[in-house]
């Protein structure tokens, strides 16, 4: 070791110790550095804050309505024929479905996106997603993002996709992401409960698919300050609300907007939503 280098090493260690001893308020931070510190960014950020418009569509059931469906079930259901019409529209308008990881790379590192990027998300892991959505997306070479309530496949509930189906979809280009273990609303909860529901569902997905889930959706769009704090401590890169919006930024990672698709969302209304939000 050259004496000069040793001296600078010792100097660095001593100055680091000195700074640590100072009260926080005495350490001067330039405004830019201070704001950068308050911004929680996932690993791999290149230092540039970006704002990108990518519509994230939110579907629930895709298929036939049961005869006794109530108002909520009806609103959450898009028929197979309407869903095919939506996909046909996206195809003719040359939209390119991308994964949330592509969106994340674009926001974090400026990775290029295809023309007219769009994200197709499907909440709750209904069996429809395996029987109707997965083959429809595959036939067009589209990718989809599925937010899974992991207690449902844990219980082998036949109304929901199984772990074997989740694994198959994951292995065939679909993103299988976390939506808690029990679809618990995440506002007004304590730390342990939030970690159990959020990290628990992520770990189950990783255990069954071999792929870590970094994307999350709040059940019923419910969350509060504590939820956001816990999200920032977990390996969650992006968390989605049910709020309407298609503009995404590098730093606002845990309050991502989407476009809700209803039973009544015609192709014309889809077009309106894509052009105006």
Which residue's CB is nearer to Zn ion, number 104 or number 124?
A: 124
- Report how far residue 132's alpha carbon sits from residue 247's, in angstroms, rounded to the nearest whole number: 29
CA distance 248 to 107: 8
Stretch that binds Zn ion, among 69-77, 165-173, 213-221, 227-235 (CB under 5 A): 213-221
Contacts of 160 (CB under 8 A, 6+ apart): 124, 125, 126, 127, 149, 152, 153
Q: Of 104, 124, 128, 197, which one interacts with Zn ion (CB under 5 A)? A: 124
Q: Do residues 76 and 61 lie in contact, with contact meaning Cβ atoms separated by under 8 Å?
A: yes
Cβ closest to Zn ion, residue 104 vs residue 123: 123
**Region of 43-51, 119-127, 196-204, 259-267 interacting with Zn ion (CB under 5 A):** 119-127
Angle at which helix 191-209 crosses helix 163-171, to 10 degrees, equals 70
Given a contact cutoff of 8 angstroms between Cβ atoms, the answer to whether 71 and 138 are in contact is no
Of 26-34, 126-134, 197-205, 217-225, the segment contacting Zn ion by CB under 5 A is 217-225
* Longest Cα–Cα distance in the chain: 84
Q: Which stretch binds Zn ion (CB under 5 A): 25-33, 116-124, 158-166, 259-267?
A: 116-124
177 binds Zn ion (CB under 5 A): no
Name which position in 76, 103, 123, 213 contacts Zn ion (CB under 5 A): 123
How far apart CA 192 and CA 263 sit, in angstroms, is: 37
Nearer to Zn ion, 144 or 219 (CB): 219
- We find the least distance from the C-beta atom of residue 124 to Zn ion, in angstroms, to be 4
104 binds Zn ion (CB under 5 A): no
Site size with Zn ion, rule: CB under 5 A: 3
Give the whole-angstrom CA distance, residue 260 versus residue 270. Answer: 10
**Which residues in this chain contact Zn ion in the complex, by CB under 5 A?**
123-124, 219
């Amino acid at each position: 070791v050259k004496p000069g280098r040793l001296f600078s090493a010792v100097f660095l260690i001593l100055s680091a110790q000195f700074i640590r001893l100072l009260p926080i308020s005495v350490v001067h931070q330039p405004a830019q550095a201070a704001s950068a510190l308050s911004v929680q960014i996932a690993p791999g950020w290149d230092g540039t804050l970006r704002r990108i418009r990518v519509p994230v569509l939110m579907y629930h059931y895709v298929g036939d309505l049961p005869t006794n469906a109530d108002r909520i079930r009806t609103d959450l259901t898009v028929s197979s024929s309407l869903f095919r019409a939506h996909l046909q529209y996206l195809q003719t308008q040359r939209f390119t479905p991308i994964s949330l990881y592509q969106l994340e790379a674009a926001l974090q590192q400026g990775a290029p996106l295809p023309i007219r990027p769009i994200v197709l998300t499907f909440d709750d892991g209904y069996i429809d997603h395996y029987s109707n959505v997965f083959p429809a997306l595959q036939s067009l070479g589209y990718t989809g993002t599925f937010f899974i309530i992991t207690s449902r496949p844990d219980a082998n509930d036949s109304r929901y996709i199984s772990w074997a189906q989740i694994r198959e979809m994951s292995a065939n280009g679909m993103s299988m992401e976390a939506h808690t273990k029990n679809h618990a609303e995440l506002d007004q909860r304590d730390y342990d409960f939030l970690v159990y529901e959020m990290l628990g569902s992520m770990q189950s997905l990783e255990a069954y698919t071999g792929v870590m889930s970094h994307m999350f959706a709040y059940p019923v769009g419910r969350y509060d300050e504590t939820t956001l704090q816990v999200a920032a401590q977990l390996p969650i890169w992006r968390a989605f609300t049910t709020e309407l919006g298609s503009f995404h930024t590098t730093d606002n990672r845990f309050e991502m907007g989407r476009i809700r698709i209803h039973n009544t969302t015609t192709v014309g209304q889809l077009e309106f939503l894509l052009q105006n939000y």
